[in-house]
Amino acid sequence: MNNDDFRQWSRRAADWGADYRDTLRDRPVRPLVEPGDIFRSIEASPPEDAEPMDRIFADFEEKILPGMTHWQHPRFFAYFPANAAPVSVVAEYLVSAMAAQCMLWQTSPAATELETRTVDWMRQALALPEGFSGVIQDSASSATLAAVLTMRERALDWQGNKKGLAGQPRLRIYSSDQVHTSIDRAIWVCGIGEDNLVRIPVGGRFRAMDNAALEAAIIADREAGMLPAGIIACVGGTSTGGTDDIASVAEVARRHGLYLHVDAAWAGSAMICPEYRHFWSGVEAADSVVFNPHKWLGAQFDCSIQFLRDPESHVRTLAIKPDYLKTHGHDGIINYSEWSVPLGRRFRALKLWFLLRAHGLENLRTMIRNHVAWSEGLAAQLAKEPDFEIVSEPMLSLFSFRHKAATGADADEHNLRLVNAINDDGRIYLTQTRVDGRVAIRFQVGQFEATAGDVDAAFVVITEIARSIG
């Protein structure tokens, strides 16, 4: 592709992106395809000869697009949002065009320094104390892995990376059962092992860890000769928004000298609004906090900020510094690859910078406040319906509900059938979870272009389809 063609096709892609957004509301949120449909539609062998761009682009529209789930659809109420505000897509285009590697200061000084600045902008936006620094990771999973590795190395006095875990005391990490599966995987990957992730029972409306049980578990483990290393608390768990009492957990962590990582991957965005910050009060005492601007806030995936109260133990865990990566002569410069597991790094700060400037915090706050209010409104509306029950009350913009099955019918099966029927209908998209072992249907609204009308449409679709399946 020469530069003239590059120009032409880039314009074509830009027009396509805007047309796509214009027509999103009319598309089924989830594609109506069977497993293997798309795979079979793609040539089995790679082309030996160059093909014209017209044909490639036409195939994208004909074969790929009908198999996409539309995450930017205003009636996407499943999982959590993965917003890509148009301005962040524009920034991503520039980043892709430059395609710089941003592992060291000198491999892209602007990327490094903008990252430091935008992370600090977000720190201020969330009202985290001065002194917290941070890094933009690809995903919360990576941030949590980095945090668990740091817990491990701190507890082992930095001997784990060198000697491995054989012959070391048995390490223990504590969390509730509401945390995301990325915590399990971090525990597996860092060699601590699932058996040493101690699940603390939860209680209360927000399913918070029982702090007395947490402290008792730490003491018992230590008496049994094991080595408690850290605690992972969550604010806004994926199932029903489970949220720990961070101030109390931090107090336990402090008393026992444990590293505290807080996973607020989804809910962190809402902390730009002062009225929601009570959900993580005490967070300033955490050692590490992760939140994903690529979820609710609108920074195109991927963009996950890990804040660190004291980056030294984090960097000491992850930095390698082989000779060919040494950059001499710049005292105090940051090489962000020493803050993350992968070496190569994308320039993720640009889209955050564009996003925050083009929208301003106040508009983003309004969006989040609207989502929370609409979700609360829908929960209240469903609660009034005789055949529906609210299973978990709204935590920010997330709640879960159940439809009553006919007498004698299995309630779990009925609700799975309902959620599948709703999704096959295509007008909205929801996902299910299990609450205390029973199926519940989740609802969250967080799409950038969602309106109150879209949430009203959700009520119509849910009640209409529930009636039709009985």
**Binding stretches for ligand PLP (CB under 6 A):** 80, 139-141, 180, 182, 234, 236-238, 263, 265-266, 292, 304
Q: Which is nearer to ligand PLP, 180 or 351 (CB)?
A: 180
Which residue do the tokens 């390490």 mark?
A: 171
CA-nearest of 391, 388, 376, 381 to 444 is 376
Helix, strand or coil, per DSSP, at residue 290:
strand
Greatest CA separation for the chain: 76
Q: How far is the CB of 264 from ligand PLP (least distance, A)?
A: 7
Cross-strand bridge partners of residue 231:
174, 260
Q: Which is nearer to ligand PLP, 107 or 144 (CB)?
A: 144
Residues 6+ apart with CB under 8 A from 18: 86
CB of 223 to ligand PLP, least distance (A): 32
Smaller CB separation from ligand PLP, 182 or 337: 182
Bridge partner list, 328: none
Q: What is the DSSP letter of 87?
A: H
Cβ proximity to ligand PLP, 141 vs 240, nearer residue: 141
Nearer to ligand PLP, 236 or 394 (CB): 236
10 Å CB burial of residue 66 (0-12, 13-18, 19+) is middle
User: Smaller CB distance to ligand PLP: residue 160 or 230?
Assistant: 230
DSSP assignment of 178-235 equals TS-HHHHHHHHHTTS-GGGEEEEPEETTTTEE-HHHHHHHHHHHHHTT-EEEEEEEEB
Q: Report in angstroms how near the CB of residue 425 gets to ligand PLP at its nearest.
A: 26
DSSP β-bridge partners for residue 263: 234, 290
Q: Is the Cβ–Cβ distance between 128 and 307 less than 8 Å?
A: yes
Q: Is 274 exposed, middle or buried (0-12, 13-18, 19+ CB in 10 A)?
A: exposed
Minimum Å gap between C-beta 83 and ligand PLP is 13
Q: Which is nearer to ligand PLP, 107 or 392 (CB)?
A: 392
Smallest gap, in angstroms, from Cβ of residue 144 to ligand PLP?
7
Give whichever of 140 and 209 is closer to ligand PLP, judged by the CB atom.
140
- Closest distance between ligand PLP and the C-beta of residue 168, in Å? 28
Nearer to ligand PLP, 139 or 211 (CB): 139
Burial 106-124 (b: 16+ CB within 10 A, else e): ebbeebbebbbebbbbbbe
In the numeric block, which tokens belong to residue 250? 């931090």
Minimum gap (Å) between residue 292 Cβ and ligand PLP? 5
78, HSE (Cβ side, Cα atoms, 13 Å)? 19
Closest distance to ligand PLP from the beta carbon of 275 (Å): 21
Q: How far is the CB of 182 from ligand PLP (least distance, A)?
A: 5
CA–CA gap between residue 67 and residue 46 (Å, rounded): 21
